[in-house]
Amino acid sequence: MTEPGPVRTTTPRPARQVRPRTEGWTQRVDAEGKPLLQFAAPKKGMPPTHLADLTPAQRVEKVKELGLPGFRAKQLEKHYFQHYTADPAHMTDLPASGRGELVTGLLPHLLTEVRRLQTDRGDTIKFLWKLHDGALVESVLMRYPGRITLCVSSQAGCGMNCPFCATGQAGLTRNMSAGEIIDQVVRANAAIRAGELGPAEHPDERVTNIVFMGMGEPLANYNRVIQAVKTMVDKDHGLGMSARGVTVSTVGLVPAINKLADENIPVTFALSLHAPDDLLRDEMIPINSRWKVDEALDAAHRYFEKTGRRVSIEYALIKDMNDHAWRADLLAQKLNARGHGWVHVNPIPLNPTPGSVWTASEKDVQREFVRRLNEAGIPTTLRDTRGKEIDGACGQLVATEEDRAVAASVPVD
In eight-state DSSP terms, residue 29 is B
Query: Collapsing DSSP states into helix, strand and coil, what is residue 385?
Result: coil
| β 246-250/268-272 pair status | parallel
Q: Which of 93, 112, 113 has the alpha carbon at shortest distance from 102?
A: 93
Question: Distance (Å, rounded) from C-alpha 228 to C-alpha 100?
Answer: 25
Residue 406 to residues 36, 109, 390, 399, Cα–Cα distance (Å): 30, 20, 16, 11
Question: Distance (Å, rounded) from C-alpha 301 to C-alpha 37?
Answer: 25
- 261-271 burial string, b = 16+ CB within 10 Å, else e? beeebebbbbb
In eight-state DSSP terms, residue 380 is B
Single out the catalytic residue among 138, 217, 283, 314. 138
Q: Which of 226, 143, 168 has the alpha carbon at shortest distance from 26?
A: 168
Adjacent-strand bridge partners of 172: 157
Strand order in the sheet with 147-151: 112-118, 124-130, 136-144, 147-151, 209-212, 246-250, 268-272, 311-317, 343-349
Residue 338 to residues 291, 299, 301, 331, 397, Cα–Cα distance (Å): 18, 11, 7, 11, 33
278 backbone φψ class: left, alpha, beta (φ>0; ψ -120 to 50):
alpha
Single out the catalytic residue among 3, 32, 394, 402. 394
| β 124-130/136-144 pair status | antiparallel
Question: Distance (Å, rounded) from C-alpha 256 to C-alpha 221?
Answer: 10
138 is catalytic: yes
Instruction: Report, as residue numbers or ranges, the catalytic residues.
Output: 138, 394
